[in-house]
Amino acid sequence: MMMNEAENTPSLREKEAVVRAYPDLEALLRVVYVDGHLFHMSSHTLSRFRANRSNEAAPGIPVPPTVAALLQQLGTRSVRGHAAKELVHAFLAHHGVDAQHALEEKESLTVLDVFHRCLDRHLGIGLSALSVQRALRVPGTPATVNAPISTEAWLTRLRTHKSIAPLPMPVALARRCTQWPLPPTHTAWYASRKLDGVRCLFVMDIDPSGQLSHVYALSRQGRAFGALDSLAAQLRDELDACPHLPRNGPWLLDGELCVWSTNEQESFVRAASLLHRPTLEHAAEAPALVYHPFDMLTLDEFLTWRHHSTRTFSKRLHELTTLVAWLRLHRPATCVRALPQIRLDSPAILDDMLREAAAWEGLMVRNDQPYEGRRSHAMLKLCARQEAEFVVEDVDISTMRLPIDGVYAYRRTVASLVVRYCGRRVAVGSGLRLRERLYWAEHPDDLRGRTVTIAYAAEAANLEGHAPSLRFPVLKYIYGKEGRLF
């Protein structure tokens, strides 16, 4: 009822009023839109599991009493993997959802459809997560779309939940540079190496006495990096001893977490693999992560940049450079490393950096202006290769002659995965490791529907007027079933 009413109501305020008119649904909506949990399962993967599942009943599964309780279990990962799918299957059977779905099959929206939308965290009623939070009067939610976020409420949520999602994270994002030379500016451009790592924001919480009480490691979506708890605690001790630490309120570092190889190249796959873990179990794993901060802001600058003037990039950079230099000198074991920012006073400086960047991921170029917590032209990326995210539509499996432990044999493997670009199917065969080719050939359904990052040289034009393709596509990373976490 609520979904139909909200979907057929044109006004945003009226939609929010419809949500408030159903207080019995508040617990469910909070699990879906407020708690910030991922359910680590989609309706697509669930349906595929149930279609291929044997009819044997799973023994002794305690079934949650409500959808909210079920989703809470999935979100907290008290049950996971195959057992989680079995639990959902048992829940739907126990509460008669499948039987009701059969009776409502001709309806536009069945009870099973509603459950699938809850599982996908998207009810499809024309309300964003932020609008639902406003309707539920969640503390810290902006009163309107353009209203500033309450810094104190934002901090309260962070201290309580150790994460911010799904509250907004006004993170500065870059646009690809398509104009050459660089666009003119009345200030200056700063350039640095583009790092192939994982974006991470360290939020520093300062108590009333001016002491650094806690450091939180967040992804750009506002989710906690649990694997970095020990690293964040070490950083808290290091920074609290720094005389250059700002003591007049909370602030944050914005930067890139990298794992460096012996040939001075970053490994995104290794960094992402470490961050996917609940904790870094072995002491040797933490030193592999290196943090390169490229910006330093007060929390007020970060949250209220639309409504209040912030310092320019060069002023923030001066403070950051002083802080990092002190850490490197007085705390040499720190994970923090400098990321040189070169002021582009002439085209020749950029030309020199571009030649050096041939072996890099590319260059990041920042305009010396106040902070913008969105994707803007104040931050540009210059890359020899491009990359984008796609969903795997299909898997091509064939027999290939491949070695295992030095023994060549014909084996059933994945030849390529298929994604769609501009409406055209594109086969991506490069970038898969041998063990991945063998594993996904045995479990192709687990790969279909996954989000992947594909790197490519350029868009390949088609002279016959067909949709364009990708030139030299290479698989860079396969995300988990829950999608992109960072």
Residue 320's pLDDT band, with cuts at 50, 70 and 90, is: very high
Q: Outline where 370-412 has alpha helix (H).
A: none
For residue 261, pLDDT over 70 is answered with: yes
Q: What is the tens place of the pLDDT at every residue in 423-451?
A: 888 999 888 888 888 888 998 888 888 89
**Residue 148 pLDDT:** 67
For residue 200, pLDDT over 90 is answered with: yes
Ranges 133-147, 257-271, 310-324, 353-367: which has the least confidence: 133-147
Q: Which residues pair with 297 in a beta bridge?
A: 252
Q: What is the mean pLDDT of residues 45-50?
A: 84
Residue 337's pLDDT band, with cuts at 50, 70 and 90, is: very high
Rounded to whole angstroms, how far apart are CA atoms 15 and 2? 9
**Residue 314 pLDDT:** 96
Q: What is the mean pLDDT of residues 390-417?
A: 86
Rounded to whole angstroms, how far apart are CA atoms 367 and 206? 29
Residue 234's pLDDT band, with cuts at 50, 70 and 90, is: very high
Prediction pTM value: 0.72
Rounded to whole angstroms, how far apart are CA atoms 187 and 314? 10
Q: Outline where 365-455 has alpha helix (H).
A: 434-442, 444-447
Q: What is the tens place of the pLDDT at every residue in 65-81?
A: 999 999 988 888 788 78
Task: Provide the 10 A C-beta neighbour count for residue 360.
Answer: 18
Q: How far apart are the first and last CA of the chain?
A: 35
The HSE-up count of residue 395 (CA atoms within 13 Å, CB side) is 22
Residue matched to tokens 């490691």: 217
User: Which run of H or of E encompasses 452?
Assistant: strand 451-456
**Residue 367 pLDDT:** 96
CB 207 within 8 A of CB 159: no
**Residue 104 pLDDT:** 83
**Residue 342 pLDDT:** 95
The residue type at 360 = W
**Residue 214 pLDDT:** 94
Q: Three-state SS for 195? A: coil
The residue type at 65 = P
User: Which run of H or of E encompasses 281?
Assistant: none
Rounded to whole angstroms, how far apart are CA atoms 54 and 82? 13
CB 396 within 8 A of CB 414: yes
Rounded to whole angstroms, how far apart are CA atoms 376 and 343? 19
E strand map for 21-69: none
CB 65 within 8 A of CB 109: no
In this structure, what token pair is assigned to residue 346?
A: 């002439």
Angle between helix axes 111-119 and 43-52 (nearest 10 degrees) is: 120
Q: CA nearest 206: which of 135, 298, 124?
A: 298
Q: What is the mean pLDDT of residues 386-399?
A: 88
| Phi, then psi, of 400 in degrees rounded to 5 | -130, 150
Structural domains of the chain ordered from first start: 2-135 (no CATH), 173-382 (3.30.470.30), 386-478 (2.40.50.140)
**Residue 46 pLDDT:** 87
Rounded to whole angstroms, how far apart are CA atoms 84 and 107? 28
**Residue 486 pLDDT:** 63
When the pLDDT of each residue in the chain is averaged and rounded to a whole number, the result is 85
In this structure, what token pair is assigned to residue 25?
A: 């649904």
Q: What is the mean pLDDT of residues 349-365?
A: 83
Rounded to whole angstroms, how far apart are CA atoms 122 and 28? 13
Q: What is the tens place of the pLDDT at every residue in 89-143?
A: 989 988 998 888 888 877 778 888 889 988 888 888 787 777 888 888 877 676 6
Q: What is the tens place of the pLDDT at every residue in 289-318?
A: 899 999 999 999 999 898 888 999 999 999
The answer to whether the Cα torsion of 466, 467, 472, 475 is positive or negative is negative
